[in-house]
Amino acid sequence: MFETLKAHQAKVADRRFEEMCDAARAAAFTAQTGDLILDYAKTNIDATALGLLIDLLNQTGVAAKRDAMFEGQPINETEGRAVLHTALRNLDGDPVIVDGKDVIPAVRATLDRMAGFAEQVRSGTFKGQGGAITDVINIGIGGSDLGPAMAVRALSPYHDGPRCHFVSNVDPADIAEVLRSCDPATTLVIVASKTFTTIETMTNARTAKAWMGETVNDPAAQFAALSTAADKTGAFGIPSDRVFGFEDWVGGRYSMWGPIGLSLMIAIGPDAFRAFLRGGQAMDTHFRAAEWPENLPALLALVGIWHNQVCGYATRAVLPYDNRLGRLPAYLQQLEMESNGKRVSMDGVDLPVDSGPVVWGEPGTNGQHAFYQLIHQGTRVVPCEFLIAARGHEPELHHQHQLLIANCLAQSEALMRGRSLEEATAIMAAKGLTGAELDRQARHRVFPGNRPSVTIAYPTLDPFTLGQIIALYEHRVFVEGAVLGINSYDQWGVELGKELATALQPVIEGKADATGKDGSTAALVAYLRQNGA
């Protein structure tokens, strides 16, 4: 399936794509939906490669798989589930039928309940023992933490509700630091666990309840739950009107559009939250309607496939030139690596090519003074994805935002252009160097260039735009998984370590011995117990 693409890539691998990047190419290799654009002109993808990549979409039936997802068919085959996070942002679309029932009325009813509770918290109608809520602590892990934590930071200019804190790590340092900053009498704790059994989340929830119980007469009265386990939330003491459930067709890393987004809704308000949903819905509409050559999720996926499966580049750097998107790379790490970090196809056969890439990154310009050295002059090629807004939220500092834009565009240009030995030699000769020392110093200043990047640009980072961006990446993951023939919606790789941790806990606590453990693990247990574990 990839042979023709790899053959074409081998023919053009040494071509300088800077030489192709004229105005016509920039127009042809940029796509847009609404005010959001995707520029992938600074890659080695040409018209032939794009045509072959689009053929790949057609050969693997991506359009039919896409339609099946939106229609509520059980495309998560290993778990027998539909994949319908898109239904959570379907504010005015057609019915979605799962097992003979339209799920949209229940989705909207839950959204309305969330909005009602959020307004009560924001207005002070819902109070803690000490008065109006000043702080909200969201306790979750994985998608129950990464999504809302990322979004609350991203939309901080719209944050006019209580302060929001996020606890995920079972390391006691995480929750201890948050609790020290809050007043238990005016704090709302949200426990985000679908099953209400996630060990890290429930350990932190019990710690928070005990902390609150030292001051508050009825601590459970200041808790809410994002869970479907009504019996367990009831046993914890949380009233049913503060329990917000969601169906098993919503995966954790795709869940902040619904109840998992309650902390975000409390922070920015129901209206802004609905604008966030509208942005996601707009990208859904675009993904379903646009032809492949203009379809942003498909194109972003095809760029990823070209770089990873065709060119063999093993990593992908996400570089938002927007400090408020500082948690986006971590969010996308889970979204992409948990979804497409698989080794077998749907039929259980080993994949003939590599699956998803390693996703990482940091905001610019910080990264420029950290790891960009490797990106520019290292021996491995790292495809980069830049995100940049035309305007920030500080109009009085617009000149500084323009400097940010200049840095963003300069980095993608530098990655493409590089600097030749001849150029470096001329620079050093102008400084008075000659002979062998001139050659030596010049070689240190050579940039190979021809390093690919894409740029996602938008007017400003508002709730609608953030919704567009997140849905864009969600659908990119879907397309890449569909092409590879894998299930992007299970996560069995998470399970083994959890099982072993449960078995190891009694050993660490001294309630069982390390019989049956390998020598390394047994030795580490002994060391840690000798030193206070």
Say what angle helices 104-123 and 270-289 make with each other, to 10 degrees: 150
Cα separation, 509 vs 40, in Å, equals 54
Q: Which of 156, 138, 222 is nearest to 187 (CA)?
A: 222
- Supply φ then ψ for residue 466, to 5 degrees: -60, -40
Distance CA 64, CA 51 (A): 19
Cα 5 vs. chain centroid, distance in angstroms?
28
Question: Is 194 exposed, middle or buried (CB count within 10 Å of its CB: 0-12, 13-18, 19+)?
Answer: buried
Q: Max Cα separation, the chain?
A: 82
| For residue 228, cis peptide bond before it (omega within 30 degrees of 0) | no
User: Known catalytic residues?
Assistant: 338, 369, 498
Q: Provide the b/e sequence for 89-116 (b: ≥16 CB within 10 Å).
A: bbeeeeebebeeeebbeebeebbebbbe
Closest Cα partner for 270 from 111, 108, 164?
111
* Interatomic CA distance for residues 465 and 474, integer angstroms: 14
Is-contact 267 152, C-beta < 8 A? yes
d(Cα 180, Cα 201) in Å, to the nearest integer?
Answer: 18
